[in-house]
Amino acid sequence: MDKPMSDSHFKLMSFGYKFRDFFLPRMNVLKEAGIKPGFHVLDYGCGPGGYIIAAAELVGKSGKIYALDIHPLAIQRVQSITSKKQLTNVETICSDCKTGLPDKSIDVALLFDTLHGLSEPNEVLAELHRVLKPNGILSLSDHHLKEDEIRTKITDKGLFRLLRKGERVYNFSKVG
């Protein structure tokens, strides 16, 4: 399975995301994912937590955000954001695939800018399929991949079908 990138690479990436998030606030992206108050959302490959504040706001106090990453620095960053902003609805998970979450417990799984780097994408997709509710959404963007690569990788095993292509994200629905 995957190994975390070096700490220096992670810090450089996090620095770059500060500019990205300044010029295109993450709320604008998340609005396309269809997150509603009370939803349980898994941010798979959360990185330094660019989506966390906006996601926590969208689900509200009755909802929950699970922020998962393979990198311990990502987990530290998200924990620091949640304590600074006093977010009580965010939980972190350090993992390279398994979430430890119950079957059919997640309304929306976010896979933003992460698919291209997964060495075992089908294992991760099977885990996301397991935790998603029957009408759950996998919301995805990946500027490293072309549209046909994204569609093929996600729908190839018959676990997801394309529901909607938005301006910035693809929303897939769970099959079965």
Ligand X SMILES: C[S@@+](CC[C@H](N)C(=O)[O-])C[C@H]1O[C@@H](n2cnc3c(N)ncnc32)[C@H](O)[C@@H]1O
Binding residue for ligand X, selected from 47, 54, 140, 160, defined by CB under 6 A: 47
Is residue 41 involved in binding ligand X (CB under 6 A)? no
Binding residue for ligand X, selected from 40, 64, 71, 153, defined by CB under 6 A: 71
Binding residue for ligand X, selected from 82, 99, 114, 139, defined by CB under 6 A: 114
Smaller CB distance to ligand X: residue 61 or 119? 119
Beta-carbon contacts of residue 16 (< 8 Å; ≥ 6 apart): none
Residue nearest to ligand X (CB): 47
Element (H, E) at 43: strand 40-44
- Rounded to an integer, what distance in angstroms lies between the CA atom of residue 131 and that of residue 106? 6
Count the helix, strand and coil residues of the chain and give each as a percent rounded to the nearest 5: 40, 25, 35
- Rounded to an integer, what distance in angstroms lies between the CA atom of residue 112 and that of residue 3? 18
- State both tokens at 61: 């106090």
Binding residue for ligand X, selected from 45, 82, 101, 172, defined by CB under 6 A: 45
Is residue 30 involved in binding ligand X (CB under 6 A)? no
Is residue 136 involved in binding ligand X (CB under 6 A)? no
